[in-house]
Amino acid sequence: QSALTQPPSASGSPGQSVTLSCTGSSSDVGGYQYVSWYQQHPGKAPKVLIYEVTKRPSGVPDRFSGSRSGNTASLTVSGLRAEDEADYYCSAYAGDNKYVFGSGTKVTVL
Amino acid sequence: QVQLQESGPGLVKPSDTLSLSCGVSGVSRVSFPNYHWSWIRQPPGQRLEWMASISYSGHTDYNPSFQSRVTISMDTSQSQFSLRLISVTAADTAVYFCARLNHLRFDVWGQGTVLTVSS
């Protein structure tokens, strides 16, 4: 299992939008409708923001949105806020009851 | 409210066997079988890594990277599940999270337990 590829860092000013990418293969990101995104603040457990590519759990602001094109999934954070500064990980179902995570992107709010 | 709580030794020596437990609360006996239960780890400054999952019925799935060293098990009577990792090395130093796998997403996480492998 290879980790999904994410850019190591991204940044934006408050109120701006930032889009994070997550690149895999047809065996994971592109092969199933099961891509999820997690937000992790330092020293904390991850929190699911997006599941099944585009769905938001209750309680997650609609500033967070997910999409996918081919083997690349994306998470867009609109209206950046200071509390959005965190690490973001994508995860994908890789078939045969296996799961793979991305390398993570650190988002900085300038 | 569903809560997961990990417990572990904190420090183990190289070549030892690691045993971790995760207590589950807030899930009814009726709904417990609807989920799979997982272990995910995060070495210092590194990415999350799925290790293993288990269903209520005891079906197990493992990350091939760990398959020869890891065992996941469940004690439904105690509403807890466990991870056993043999022959640990410094590379196994990490924060170990337990999590609920709900329709192929990890929707509830424990706070994590820190494990250091050192002599």
pLDDT digits (tens, 9 = 90+) for B8-26: 999 999 999 999 999 998 8
Say whether residue B16 is in contact with chain A using an 8 A CB cutoff.
no
**Min Cα–Cα distance to chain B from A13, Å:** 25
Q: What is the pLDDT of residues A55-92, one digit of tens each?
A: 999 999 999 999 999 999 999 999 999 999 999 999 99
Instruction: Give the Cα separation of A46 and B112 in Å (integer).
Output: 10
- Residues A36 and A90: beta-carbon distance below 8 Å: yes
Residue A1 pLDDT > 70: no
Nearest CA in chain A to B113: A45
Q: 3-state DSSP call for residue A63?
A: coil
Nearest to B85 by CA among B68, B61, B107, B63: B68
Q: What is the pLDDT of residues B19-55, one digit of tens each?
A: 999 999 888 877 778 899 999 999 999 999 999 999 9
Q: Do A48 and B105 touch (CB under 8 A)?
A: yes
Instruction: Give the Cα separation of A93 and A101 in Å (integer).
Output: 9
Q: Within 10 A of B61 (CB to CB), how many other CB atoms are there?
A: 19
DSSP per residue over chain B, as a string?
A: --EEEEE--SEE-TT--EEEEEEEES--TTTGGG-EEEEEEE-TTS--EEEEEEETT--EEE-TTTTTTEEEEEEGGGTEEEEEE-S--GGG-EEEEEEEEETTEEEEE---EEEEE--
Q: List Cβ neighbours of B29 (8 Å cut-off, separation of 6 or more).
A: none
Show residues of chain A in contact with B57, CB under 8 Å. none
